[in-house]
Structure 1
Amino acid sequence: MVHTDPDTNQLKCMTGMRFFSMIAVVVCHSVMVSASGFVSNPQYIEKMTSDPKSMSYINCHPITQTFFVMSGWLLSYHFFLSFEKANFQFTHILYAFIHRYVRLTIPLAVVVAITATWLPHFARGPLWDQVVGREYRSCRKNWWANLLYINNYYEEKNMCLPHSWYLAADIQLFLYSLLLLSIIWKNRRIASKVFAASLIMGVLVPGILAYIHDIHIVLRAYPENLQTRLVNLPEWSYFMVPGHTSIGGYTIGLIGGYLYYKNRNKKLFAKTYQHILWFVVVFSFPLTVILLGLLLHDDNYTPSSLETAVYVGLSRNLYAFGMCLMIFGFTQNIGWLVNDIVMIPDLQFLGKFSYCVYLVHFTIILIRSGHTRSTIYISDPEMIHRAIGDVVISTVFGVVLCLFVEMPTSALEKLIMSKERKSKVG
């Protein structure tokens, strides 16, 4: 379901947002892995949970909701746009899934294969097996779960490429959303009811799971937890990686795409007070979710099960709502300097490599950390230095993967699919 029209140019803001979100993810993982190594001042890590600026990378897991929002938005918009002048057929849904599966899987398979075979031989160091060993052993054992996109449910504590949980959740929510959109297409009058039901489920499911399993209100970024990259925490299995706990964020994206489709030729934010309100909501919601980590990491604060359920149910969804409203504002040409930044041509160009950068970045970070041969003194400048290095190197290898694997595969897939469609028409 690929459709191009002038309105699509307004959605280029997503490429810039994707670039900045990717940088944020790499920085968060860089800090996490750096803090899990042999540090000479572990008290720095202990104090991070009481430092406001540290919340941006300690309590940063809601950032992935930005990707879910954008995926849901684009799926919804292109779904309705594609069937505007064409008859709805199941084969179109099948083609959409095949296109997405092939595009995501081939580069993923290459990274999994390299991790399971060559990774152990890339470098050496006293921490090499501790840092890297678990990674390649998990890939040798559970590589197939990644290719089937069930790795966020099957042995999620021993997941090959732990950051690939997002890809599995994205595919699962993509299929779920295709079902929702198909139902809505058959009966447009129930669109609001279907979206509302899905959104309510997206809030209730993680909240109820948090209440039942009595999980902690946030992922505790303590040294002992960072040593295992958080995967042994119950929050990882019950809240962080399952696809069903991100239904809310994806649904918010679906709603945004549908509303944009319905109002793409209208000017909705014309008054100054609306622009001001947009700024307040867009930045206050995500920042509040992240900075609340200061209170929630306080050892003197013990939330009740109900408080935990409310926060877990609402936090990522409020963050997703802020990101969705940001996109909607950009499509209405508001945002001033922020809009100008995400539309910078160079960032638009780099944003096209985001997927491959995401695939390789965690392995790059592990190699750097595992190769360390002495203790490190952690400080803000040291963290920044390491994060910048990880971002640059990950981008370089991500570009290589994109140019030599993703782009050729995508071009070949489009050629084969176009010939298949033409043969059926003929």
Structure 2
Amino acid sequence: MKRKKIKVIENYVHRYFRLTPVLAMVVLMITTLSTNIGEGPLWGDLSSIPDDCIDHWWAFLLYIPNYYPQEQCLLPAWYLGVDMQCYIVAVVIMVFLKRWSKLTLTGMGLLVSLSAAASFWSCYIHALPTVRIDYTDKTEDYNRYYYKLTHTRCGPYIIGMICGYIIYNIKSSPRTYKLPIVLKILYWIICLALLATCIFVPLSLNEDTVWQNALFISLHRLVWSICVCSIIIMCVTNNADFVNSFLSMPFFQVVARLSYCAYIIHGLWILAKVFSTKTVVNYSIVQVVVNSWGTTAVSLLLSFILSLMFEMPAPEVEKYFIKFLRNIFGVMSSAGGMKWKPPSS
């Protein structure tokens, strides 16, 4: 068996061990502890969540909850399914990209177009709104036919891969890409205008503008991702000094390291906080700000504990598993009369 194929499989193993331990422990904690760690008039509404986890735990570990119908065990896990499925396809694309770059880039552009077309068709046929609003008649349709599906979500992921390929070529080239100040100003005006368009256009759309809604839904994530990727390229080429300095602050490295655990635990903490409320809450701007920052701080603290206990030890387990995997491939290759040399770590 060729070394490249072994390396691809090892990449899948690495990704799985990176994500799964934390996810499995959170699902286990929800199943066993969620009904016993809090109280309040609404806490009983959580009683159905452990049952959903017991019935559908395997869908989370296989990373297919976005296609397999499950209720409300771990709501954010649908995106982990999208991310893992996109990653599996991305590794295959990278193999082709290294050998047939132009043809593969064309195919990636075609995949982005097909994803946008699928989004437009689903949204147009089912008359979906531009944004998901919970507790409405269209919420379930929005999730089922567009919001949680990989084939309607993969466009920005592929655009990010193309951005990575461009950055790789920029760093491999001795050329400099310093832009004149006029072009920099023009770029930021266009970029910020497009980002603002993605945010504010839904305010002018309603349920009657069906085809406009479908057009916006199919394009706005692509436009947003292109703008974000262009900002990254501007930073890489030293054309965004202030933005590059801000985004390179060490604080973001810490937050990025905890982002996966924070993503999983954040929604659960909000549910626990809301369902344990025992008095009527009178909202004000000050209270919203205080609650937001307090919720963020507690989420980061819980994610740090979760990362320390389960995410950080995972690479050690992964090393032993990959070593075992290499030995298995070595035995299989020897049995087939093939000379096989394990890839370097």
Pairwise TM-score range, normalised by the shorter structure: 0.7 to 0.9
- Taking the aligned partners of 1:208 and 1:145, their CA distance within structure 2 comes to 27
* 1:217 counterpart = 2:134: no
How many angstroms apart in 2 are the aligned matches of 1:124 and 1:275? 55
Residue 280 of structure 1: how far off its partner (Å)? 2.6
2-side partners of 1:188 and 1:281: how far apart? Answer: 29
2:115 maps to 1:208: no
Match of 1:195 in 2: 108
The CA distance in 2 between the partners of 1:393 and 1:401, in whole Å, is: 12
Residue pairs, 1:286-301, within 5 angstroms: 286-296=195-205, 301=206
2:289 corresponds in structure 1 to 384
Matches within 5 A, 1:87-236: 89-130=4-45, 132-156=46-70, 158-220=71-133, 224-225=135-136, 232-236=139-143
Query: 1:355 aligned to 2:260?
Result: yes
Q: Read off the aligned partner of 1:136 and give its amino acid letter.
A: P
**Change over 3 Å in CA distance of 1:302–1:215 after alignment to 2:** closer
- Alignment partner for residue 182 of structure 2, among 269, 273, 291? 273
- Report the counterpart of residue 244 of structure 1 in structure 2: 151
CA contact (8 A) 2:22 2:261 kept: yes
1:275–1:334 CA contact under 8 A, matched in 2: yes
- State how far apart, in whole Å, the 1-side matches of 2:3 and 2:226 are: 30
- CA gap of 1:327–1:379, structure 2 versus 1, over 3 A, is same
Taking structure 1 as the reference length, what is the TM-score of the superposition? 0.72
Q: Are residues 1:311 and 2:216 paired? A: yes
Q: What is the CA deviation profile of residues 380-406 of structure 1, one whole-angstrom value per residue up to 9, with x for unaligned ones?
A: 222222211110111001001111110
Structure 1 residues 385 and 136 mapped into 2: Cα distance closer, same or farther (>3 Å)?
Answer: farther
Q: Which has the higher contact order (CA 8 A, sep 6+)?
A: 1
The answer as to whether partners of 1:117 and 1:136 remain within 8 angstroms in 2 is: yes
Give the TM-score of the pair, scaled to structure 2: 0.87
Q: Look at both structures and tell me which one has the larger radius of gyration over its CA atoms.
A: 2
* Number of aligned residues: 328
What residue identity is the alignment partner of 1:403?
L
Q: Cα distance 1:302–1:123, how it changes in 2: closer, same or farther (>3 A)? A: closer
- Listed one character per residue, the Cα deviations across residues 324-368 of structure 1 (whole Å, up to 9, x for unaligned) are 112212222333333222211133223211111111111111111
Cα deviation digits, residues 221-255 of structure 1 (max 9, x gap): 5xx44xxxx99531111111111111110110011
Question: Structure 2 counterpart of 1:112, which letter?
Answer: V
For 2:49 and 2:246, the matched residues in 1 are separated by 37
Match of residue 278, structure 2, among 373, 376, 379: 373
In the alignment, the residues of structure 2 paired with residue 417 and residue 308 of structure 1 have an alpha-carbon distance, to the nearest angstrom, of: 47
Partner Cα separation in structure 2 for residue 199 and residue 398 of structure 1: 33
Structure 1: gaps of 5 or more residues: 1-86
Between the aligned partners of 1:367 and 1:339, the Cα distance in structure 2 is 37
Q: Distance in 2 between matches of 1:167 and 1:354?
A: 13
Structure 1 distance, partners of 2:323, 2:244, is 36
Deviation at residue 202 of structure 1 after TM alignment: 2.2
Unaligned runs of 5+ in 2: 331-339
Instruction: For residue 100 of structure 1, report the CA deviation from its aligned partner.
Output: 0.3
